Chain A
């Protein structure tokens, strides 16, 4: 990237990105953080009620992140490196846990694995106490491994197969190639995956709320302060602790990266096949992925069965009556689809542009922008929405459409995954490619648009998919923002659960998840069409 001074368009892009970040990420959070005031913070911190939730949050984040990243790595390695069967199936199943609207999926875990669970009690005769630390750990592992799987798979697929082939040709065994070529090449991606997963686990509210039992973590404590007591001040103080922790994780990540860069030249992994892995590795990967898929399918199968029975699990008579709620609340489904698609598209574009400005820029203060772009991951959705409700609910802003505001909140709340993916992707593209384009006369933005973006296709996809599924499944962000006309599917599900309408809630969840899968498949098909068109043109 050439200097900002010589390229006004680049400077303009930077100003726009910074302006939007300040307005839609920083300002609402400042409003939340400022809520308690000096005495509010003093009261809260001297009270000490935050100590145990903080300890719990740290423990569960360490445990769940470790297992989720390990599982994500195994899954990604299996998908990218092995020639196991059923990859399209595993790809789809791997996305399912991302499509978990709050409450319903964790409730399905209890139905299956609870003290009187279908599997645990009725099959194995055991009454395990799954609520608490171990329950959260298990559910979060399943819920969050897809994040790290997506990020790691994106990085793995861009690691240069030629280097691995070369290593094999020089006599290295599969294990040695993995250890001394593959692993170092994926370091930036792994770092990003661990960081992102850790922050998402830290801010997770839905799973601890249902599976946590006695085990209170910071987000559930904050929710309790709001929901049980309307204590905005105390809840905002908890949110501030979470932001502080995110800063610590961020600094740790900077040290981990340590300035070392592992560069492969291009994203064209398909130019040469990867060296084959041993047969037993393929089989082991297949078995591991199958086990994962089994658990995931059991959970979603439970939802489908619940949606089609009169009163699961006490009355198993078949019915389709629960699906009447889907028709009655079609507005919320439609809104969810529109907000999700718009937010995902804009978020993907914005994330890649921001990653380009930060990763390729040489201007001062880019570390600050880098942190601000990762920060939303550490903000529990509840506070992100609350920040918007506080900051943008002014009389002179009453003309702003609530649906638009919800979409904007989804764009910026979900920036971190797409941004991290794009940064990891950019780090694997050698700067000499930028330099070649620049010396041929391309401007910085032109290089970005015509050279880098096409090579970052995978990262854009990660950002798009993640934003879309999170937009489809978030309850906490919209709970303070939705209006009658801009209600969403998760709000409807929350209503039905609160109304003891388990059948209606599961039917609606099935419809919501089904709609999201159809949308993703259609986009994948269309997307592939456009890529091949682009290639033909080039």
Chain B
């Protein structure tokens, strides 16, 4: 599709909207969220046309999510580009900056969105619906808005835990240092997975940024670790198969796997870390009205409930109940996770970790 065509269809849409507004407007009955701000002249535009959404959400979540958005927003077509790897999508958006192909980037920890925002590749947008989101869960620079939390936990192979390590669920991260776990633990590689790094950062925050203590922990933990697999889902898969006994990993993904294999279980130690899943609008989008309408919809209660149902993640909205059995930010004891500090010190901490454990 050429840019001209896009502009033309956009202008046509504008014309229709203007005409509709002249006739009294709002006849569609759908609450036009953008009108709430009432600031920009384009705010009254009804979303239409086509948007391209780069999504790092799970495949099963994607399809129903987009279908629900289209049902709620008639007239907007969504071209979904699913890739459950936020880093690749971030890199792809960087590589495409000469001629952006995406309008919206959804899913993945806010650090992936934040990096793009700092490179000037995101459109600042504060959705009216973001008023329901606590200020800790959205970017002060308005580049991105959080819409879910992912909480870090431990996946365990129940049978092997019962037979080999006494059956008790770990309640603190220090429990994993017991020699009985030797050779039975795995952790998604801190170098190649976001979760692996969040694990290290969590330890640093647990010791009030005393890096020496955190590295001492990582060194003792390393003594029990058999492997650092290359992807997070792989680590869950290996424990599910019984190749290894336990692995720190994402609670929502563990619950998803548990539906398929009841032989695994989830534990959440006290002082755990979490990610904020974000959504953002790409700078240079040819359809800002529809892109923003998508963000508005993602932040609704309805979308929050759907995401919880499909992925077991926790909504940022306090009026959306968690999935049955899923931990929430209030049901677990969180570490004081300093997101900006974790992002700024990532390279340095990883090098320190590599030196500490000698890999």
Partner of B91, one of A214, A232, A315, A397: A232
- Of the listed stretches B29-37, B131-139, B237-245, B333-341, chain A binds B237-245
Write out the residue numbers on chain A whose beta carbons fall within 8 Å of the beta carbon of B183. Answer: 129
How many angstroms from the CA of A31 to the CA of B241 in the assembled complex?
A: 43
Are A395 and B99 in contact, with the CB atoms below 8 A? yes
In the complex, which of the residues B85, B197, B228, B229 contacts A498, with contact meaning CB atoms closer than 8 Å? B85
B82 an interface residue at 8 Å Cβ cutoff? yes
A314 touches B3 (CB 8 A): no
Measured CA separation A224–B197 after assembly (Å):
11
Check B227–A214 contact: CB distance below 8 A.
Answer: yes
User: Size of chain B's interface in residues, with CB distance under 8 A?
Assistant: 64
CA distance A229 to B238 in the complex (A): 24
Interface residue from B79, B87, B197, B229 paired with A226 (Cβ < 8 Å): B87
Q: In the complex, are the beta carbons of A501 and B59 less than 8 A apart?
A: yes
- A residues within 8 A CB of B234? 107, 210
In the complex, A221→B96 CA distance in Å? 23
Q: CA–CA, A445 to B234, complex, Å?
A: 53
Please report the C-alpha to C-alpha distance between residue A227 and residue B227 in the assembled complex, in whole angstroms.
Answer: 19
Interface flag for A479 (CB, 8 Å)? yes
Question: A216, B191: Cβ atoms under 8 Å?
Answer: yes
By a CB distance below 8 angstroms, the chain B residues around A231 are 347
**Given A393-B96, A500-B256: A398 and B2 within 8 A (CB)?**
yes
Stretch in B143-151, B166-174, B257-265 touching the partner: B257-265
Q: Please name the residue on chain B nearest to A476 by beta carbon.
A: B88
Chain A: CB-nearest residue to B346: A229
CB distance from B327 to the nearest CB of A (A): 18
Contact A224 B192, beta carbon cutoff 8 Å: yes
Given contacts A314-B240, A394-B99, contact A131 B229 (CB under 8 A): yes
Residue pair B95, A390 in contact (C-beta under 8 Å): yes
Any chain A CB within 8 A of the CB of B295?
Answer: no
| Interface flag for B223 (CB, 8 Å) | no
CA distance A441 to B115 in the complex (A): 65
Decide yes or no whether B180 CB sits under 8 A from chain A.
Answer: no
The answer for the CA separation of A52 and B1 in the assembled complex, in Å, is 46
Looking at the assembled complex, report how far the CB atom of B276 sits from the nearest CB atom of chain A, in whole angstroms.
Answer: 16
B269 close to A (CB within 8 Å)? no
Cβ-defined partner of A230 (8 Å) among B84, B87, B192, B261: B87
Q: Could you tell me if A116 and B243 are in contact, using CB atoms closer than 8 angstroms?
A: yes
A325 → B minimal CB distance (Å): 10
Contact of A399 among B2, B196, B260 (CB under 8 A): B2
Q: Determine whether the beta carbon of A223 is less than 8 Å from that of B84.
A: no
A126 to chain B, nearest CB (A): 13
Given known contacts A115-B244, A480-B91, is B84 in contact with A216 (CB within 8 Å)?
no
Residues of B within 8 A of A230 (CB): 87, 90-91, 94, 112, 115-116
Interface flags for B1-39 (1: CB within 8 Å of A; 0: not) read: 111000000000000000000000000000000000000
A199 at interface by CB-CB < 8 Å: no
Residue B193 is within 8 A (CB to CB) of chain A in the complex: yes
Q: Are A216 and B81 in contact, with the CB atoms below 8 A?
A: no
Tell me which of B52, B240, B260 has the highest count of chain A C-beta atoms within 10 A of its own C-beta. Answer: B260
Contact mask for chain B residues 242-258; partner A; CB cutoff 8 A; 1 contact, 0 none:
11100000000100110
Alpha-carbon distance A214/B188, docked complex (angstroms) = 10
Q: Which of A80-139 contact B (CB under 8 A)?
A: 107, 110-111, 114-117, 129, 131-132
| A180 on interface, CB distance cutoff 8 Å | no
The answer, yes or no, to whether B189 is at the interface (CB within 8 Å) is yes
Alpha-carbon gap, A324 to B359, bound state (A): 43
The closest CB in chain A to the CB of B231 belongs to: A209
The verdict on A311 contacting chain B, using a C-beta distance below 8 Å, is: yes
Q: With a CB–CB cut-off of 8 A, which chain B residues contact A494?
A: 83-85
Q: Is the CB of B227 within 8 A of A484?
A: no
Residue pair A484, B81 in contact (C-beta under 8 Å): yes
Q: How far is the CB of A264 from chain B (nearest CB, A)?
A: 46
Cα A299 to Cα B164 with chains together (Å):
29
Q: Is B233 a contact partner of A497 (Cβ separation < 8 A)?
A: yes
A107–B91 CB distance below 8 A: no
Name the A residues within 8 Å of B321 (CB-CB). Answer: none
Is A114 within 8 A of B243, CB to CB?
Answer: yes
Please indicate the chain A residues that have their CB under 8 angstroms from the CB of B52 in the complex.
484
Task: Let me know if B213 is at the binding interface, CB within 8 A.
Answer: no
Give Cα A390–Cα B92 distance, bound, in whole angstroms: 9
Contacts of A229 in B (CB 8 A): 87, 346-347
Which B residues are in CB contact (< 8 Å) with A491?
83
User: CA of A49 to CA of B234 in the docked complex: distance in angstroms?
Assistant: 24
For residue B227, which residues in chain A have a CB less than 8 angstroms away from its CB?
129, 131-132, 213-214
Binary contact track B86-125/A, C-beta < 8 Å → 1, others 0: 0110111011101101000000000010011000000000
Q: Which of A190-229 contact B (CB under 8 A)?
A: 208-210, 212-214, 216, 220-221, 223-224, 226-229
B58 within 8 A of A: yes
Tell me, rounded to whole Å, the shortest Cβ–Cβ distance linking A132 to chain B: 8
- A228-B192 contact given A214-B227, A480-B88, CB 8 Å threshold: yes
Name the CB-closest residue of A to B97. A393
Which residue of chain A lies nearest to B311 when distances are taken between CB atoms in the complex? A499
A116-B242, A480-B88 are contacts. A498–B230 as well, Cβ < 8 Å? no
- Report A-chain residues with C-beta under 8 Å of the C-beta of B192: 209, 220, 223-224, 227-228
Contact between A227 and B98, CB atoms less than 8 A apart: no
From B244, which residue of chain A is reached at the shortest CB distance?
A115
Q: Which of B83, B197, B236 has the most CB of A within 10 A?
A: B83
The smallest C-beta distance from B356 to any residue of chain A, in angstroms, reads 14
A55 beta carbon closer than 8 Å to chain B: no
Contact in complex: A389, B359 (CB < 8 Å): no
The CB with the most chain B CB atoms within 10 A, among A116, A213, A228, A399, is that of A228
Out of A110, A228, A495, A496, which one reaches B193, CB within 8 Å? A228
Q: A227-B88, A499-B58 are in contact. Are A393 and B95 (CB under 8 A)?
A: yes
Q: Which of B342-359 contact A (CB under 8 A)?
A: 346-347, 351, 354, 359
User: With A228-B197, A314-B261 in contact, do A479 and B88 touch (Cβ < 8 Å)?
Assistant: yes
Name the residue of chain B whose CB is nearest to the CB of A479. Answer: B88
CB of A500 within 8 A of CB of B236, answer yes
- Min C-beta distance of A409 to chain B, whole Å: 13
Q: Quick check: is B80 within 8 A (CB to CB) of the other chain?
A: yes
Bound-complex Cα distance A393 to B234 (A): 33
Given that A314-B263, A399-B2, A500-B233 are known contacts, is A479 also in contact with B83, CB under 8 Å in the complex? yes
The reply to whether B351 and A49 form a contact with Cβ atoms under 8 Å apart is yes
Within 8 A of B (CB), among A224-279: 224, 226-232, 235
What is the bound-complex CA distance between A230 and B117, given in angstroms?
Answer: 13
How distant is B170 from chain A, measured CB to nearest CB, in Å?
20
A393 touching B98 in the complex, CB below 8 Å, given contacts A129-B226, A220-B192, A220-B230: yes
Flag whether B60 is at the interface (Cβ < 8 A).
yes
0 or 1 for each of B286-312: is its CB under 8 Å from A? (1 = yes) = 000000000000000000000000000
- 4 smallest A-B Cβ distances: which pairs? A224-B192, A498-B84, A227-B87, A230-B90
| Further pairs besides A214-B227, A229-B347, A395-B3: 8, Cβ < 8 Å | A214-B359, A228-B87, A315-B261, A393-B101, A398-B1, A484-B52, A498-B233, A500-B233
20 CB < 8 A contacts A-B: A47-B351, A115-B244, A131-B226, A132-B227, A209-B192, A213-B227, A229-B87, A230-B91, A230-B112, A230-B116, A232-B95, A311-B261, A389-B92, A393-B96, A393-B101, A398-B1, A484-B80, A494-B84, A495-B83, A498-B233
Which residues of B come within 8 Å of A, CB atoms?
A: 1-3, 52, 58-60, 79-85, 87-88, 90-92, 94-96, 98-99, 101, 112, 115-116, 183, 189-194, 196-197, 226-231, 233-234, 236-238, 240-244, 253, 256-257, 260-261, 263, 346-347, 351, 354, 359
